[in-house]
Structure 1
Amino acid sequence: MTSMTRNKLCKTLALTTITALCVGLAPAPVSAGQSAPGAPNPGASDVAETMTAKQRAIPMIAAFMATSDMPKLNAALDRGLSAGLTISETKELLVQLYAYAGFPRSLNALGELMKVLESRKQRGIHDAPGREPSRTIATGEALQKAGKANQERISGGPVASPVFEFAPVINQYLQSHLFGDIFERDNLDWQSRELATLGALAAMPGVEAQLRSHMRASLRVGLSTAQLREVVQVLSEHVDQQSGERARAALAQASAAASGK
């Protein structure tokens, strides 16, 4: 390998690492369907080749929440509840997504969920309440330690970057809050959390780097390439072609990385 080729490769790897950092995910080789070791509720041990109706509803809910399309969000929430999402799981999806789409959209979406539940109740539909997290969430240093461990499981290894050296507090927030406070809540499995994140990021132009990172993360927590192709299909058919194309491009890169190409 020539010196010029080595320099070009190093610059490419550095850029790839930096663009993955807004969600705290550094690139690492993975195999399709590889589960995060020790992850709470990472999904079934056997990798599924198709999504359930419940799983298919999640990216749609997330996409319409991220774009503040309330009429379509209303319909997607109704569809998700009919497919088996519990009230607790649905609330958890919308709460988590504030970390990617912002508090205003999350609050508005939770308000829309309240309307949907009331409408369903008036129609005689009694949705399963689901459950709250089964364990107490740590605080302080213990919380950041737990979040750091979760971050590394999802990322495929320790996360380091010049960006985190430049602004260390952003990684502290990621570890303590996103991967700590949120991902330690076990009333929603990690596969569902990643499906929601994919839907939201695919619907928002300009965050393709983060979308690519979460495609890789989705493989790590046990979603299969075939299931992720379904995510692309769901977004293309039920959200819009642009969202589907962004997801398709991210999946192609994640699949290439997983196969070592």
Structure 2
Amino acid sequence: MNERYERGLARQAELGGPGATRARAYDALADIAPDLSRLAVEFAYGDIHARPGLDPARRELVVLGVLTALGGVEPQLQAHLETALNVGVRPAELVEAIMQALPYAGFPRVFAAMTVARRVLQSRDLLPVPPP
């Protein structure tokens, strides 16, 4: 293993591990694209996520906004919602971060993201979320 990969694994461990959702995504493609998960760990976590400048909670809020705006990335959104909770982002903050995407991403993408958030929060027995 190389230094970038080791740094990426260490960063994932700091964030609560790769998580079941992320691990399933990596494993599901191992037979067709075995290098994809290695590249994700090296680049996304070893290079980008490990940069200084933002604490893990703020970094996850940024990622949630981007994934919400992209749409169609529910597995990644779920993984980052789980990670955000692992690093101390409160449920109401998750909801608000997704709501902030509404003027830019539109109702369909925000509803889709909020549906994933509801599922994650429900799985952790964090519903209902009190209003801000």
Aligned residues: 121
Q: CA RMSD in A?
A: 2.5
Contact 2:65 2:98 (8 Å CA) reproduced: no
* Residue identity (%): 26
Q: Distance in 1 between matches of 2:76 and 2:117?
A: 12
Per-residue CA deviation, residues 49-106 of structure 1 (Å, 9 max, x unaligned), is xxxxxxxxxxxxxxxxxxxxxxxxxxxxxxxxxxxxxxxxxxxxxxxxxxxxxxxxxx
Alpha-carbon distance, 1:167 to partner: 2.2
Alpha-carbon distance, 1:174 to partner: 1.3
* Residue 229 (1) aligns with residue 108 (2): no
Q: Distance in 1 between matches of 2:47 and 2:54?
A: 13
Task: Give every structure 1 segment of 4 or more consecutive aligned residues whose post-TM-superposition deviation is greater than 6 Å.
Answer: none
TM norm structure 1: 0.41
Q: Distance in 2 between matches of 1:154 and 1:164?
A: 23
2:114 to 226, 238, 248: 248
1:146 maps to 7
In the TM superposition, what are the counterparts of 1:1-261 in structure 2 within 5 Å?
141-154=2-15, 156-157=17-18, 159=23, 161-236=27-102, 238-239=103-104, 240-259=106-125
Matched residue SS, 1:249: helix
TM norm structure 2: 0.76
Structure 2 unaligned spans of 5+: 128-132
Structure having the higher helix fraction is 2
2:130 maps to none
Alpha-carbon distance, 1:155 to partner: 5.3
Q: Distance in 2 between matches of 1:144 and 1:174?
A: 9
Q: Which moved more, 1:195-204 or 1:154-163?
A: 154-163
Structure 1 unaligned spans of 5+: 1-139
Q: Distance in 1 between matches of 2:46 and 2:61?
A: 19
Higher relative contact order (CA 8 A, sep 6+): 1
Contact 2:15 2:56 (8 Å CA) reproduced: no
Q: Distance in 2 between matches of 1:245 and 1:189?
A: 27
Contact 1:215 1:251 (8 Å CA) reproduced: yes
Contact 2:60 2:80 (8 Å CA) reproduced: yes
